[in-house]
């Protein structure tokens, strides 16, 4: 098989995207909401931090965070929780945040 044909038949895994969040009582419901809405995500714990990764796309839904918190939550509050992220913020509006690679 020629190289171009061989490359075309290979499957490529989606690149991981993710976020690192400060681990605290206030952020625990946010972490739980992200886990619920992104079943393929994985969590890694280190002292004071939680790293959440997912293949290709990570979604943070305002509605789910509010359910977990038991109060209203505005997506701009997410800025206070995150330490860093990897991927591109493709959408950040009043009801969801989407982190994914552009290509």
Name the percent of the chain lying above pLDDT 90: 84
Following CA atoms 91, 68, 29, 27 in sequence, which dihedral angle do they give, to the nearest 10 degrees? 70
- Helix pair angle (28-37, 62-69), 10° resolution: 130
Question: Does residue 32 register a pLDDT over 80?
Answer: yes
Alpha carbons 79 and 44: distance in angstroms, whole number: 20
Written as six digits, the tokens of 26 are 């206030």
Angle at 26 between CA 79 and CA 67, to 5 degrees: 90
User: Which positions ≥6 away from 14 have C-beta within 8 Å?
Assistant: 55, 56, 57
pLDDT digits (tens, 9 = 90+) for 8-20: 444 457 899 999 9
């Amino acid at each position: 098989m020629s190289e171009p044909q061989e490359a075309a038949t290979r499957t490529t895994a989606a690149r991981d995207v993710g976020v690192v969040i400060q681990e605290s009582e206030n952020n625990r419901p946010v972490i739980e909401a992200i886990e619920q809405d992104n079943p393929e995500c994985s969590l890694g714990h280190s002292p004071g931090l939680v790293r959440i990764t997912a293949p290709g796309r990570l979604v943070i839904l305002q509605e789910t965070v509010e359910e977990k918190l038991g109060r209203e939550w505005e997506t701009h509050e997410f800025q206070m929780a995150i330490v860093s992220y990897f991927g591109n913020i493709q959408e950040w509006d009043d009801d969801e945040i989407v982190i994914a690679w552009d290509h």
